Every structure is written in C-alpha cells, then in structure tokens.
Structure 1
C-alpha cells in the first residue's frame, strides 16, 4: 500500500486517466474528489464488503427445518400460482 501525505487542493494522478483530489480536510475526515473515465467503476469499500457478505449469505446452504415447520416437504417444488379469474365486464 502506498501512503501519501496530501493537503487540501493537492491531487494524485493514476494510470488510466484517474485523478484523485483532496477537496477538504477537518477533524471529521477527508473529502476527496475522483475524476475518472466513465467506464471505470468507483465503489465505496463498505458497499463492496456488504454486497460480498450478502452474496456469501445467499449462496450458503439453507436449513430446511423452517420448511418442515410450514408443512412443506424439504426439496419439493413450490406450488405454482393459481390463475385468478377476470371479473365479468
């Protein structure tokens, strides 16, 4: 990891036309601006971690005890939706 000291208004230029500018600094944190081509994805780290965690949770094996409690045999297909008759016009 490269660690740089920058002051308000200073910038960092990265390969691919990416420019990071220190917009402001105070005791609450640092505000940065990122100027990059439109094809470059820029995501906050905490959002990436949250999505990763949710994807792992969704891919985990599901306990079937709750299905048995509902009266649905484990591994059976859900019931197909029933057709709702249209009202007479």
Structure 2
C-alpha cells in the first residue's frame, strides 16, 4: 500500500486518466473529488461489497425461480 500525505487542492494521479483531488479536510473527514473515465465504476467500499454480495446471490438462484414469478412470460 502506498501512503501519501496531501493538502487541500493537491491531486493524486493514477495512470493516465484518473485524478483524485483533496477538496476539504474537516476533523477526521476528508472530501475527495475523483475524475475518471465514464467506463470506470467508482463506489465506496461498503457499497462495492454490497453489490458483489447481491450479484453472487443472484447468480446462485435456482432456474425454477423465474417460473414462480407472477406474470412470467417464460412459462409455456
């Protein structure tokens, strides 16, 4: 892990196309601005983990699950 000290309005550069700017610091809270290409997903870690968990649950659904949904157009 790389550990850096930065001040307000200083920027971290990641690769050629991602910038992270320190917008404000208040107590133990830091506000960051992230400039990245639209195709790169950016989430807080807890949200990212929640998305991964939900995707894992959805991938493990039984094939019969869709058949039991009301108004299912997949039923013959």
Q: TM-score, normalised by structure 2?
A: 0.67
The structure that is helix-richer by fraction is 2
Structure 2 runs not aligned, ≥5 long:
72-76
Residues 79 and 53 of structure 1: CA distance in aligned 2, closer, same or farther (over 3 Å): closer
Matched, 1:14 2:14: yes
Cα distance in 1 for partners of 2:56, 2:68 equals 24
Cα distance in 2 for partners of 1:52, 1:44 equals 12
Higher relative contact order (CA 8 A, sep 6+): 2
Q: TM-score, normalised by structure 1?
A: 0.59
How far the C-alpha of 1:3 sits from its partner, in A, is: 1.0
CA-based RMSD: 2.5
Count of aligned pairs: 66
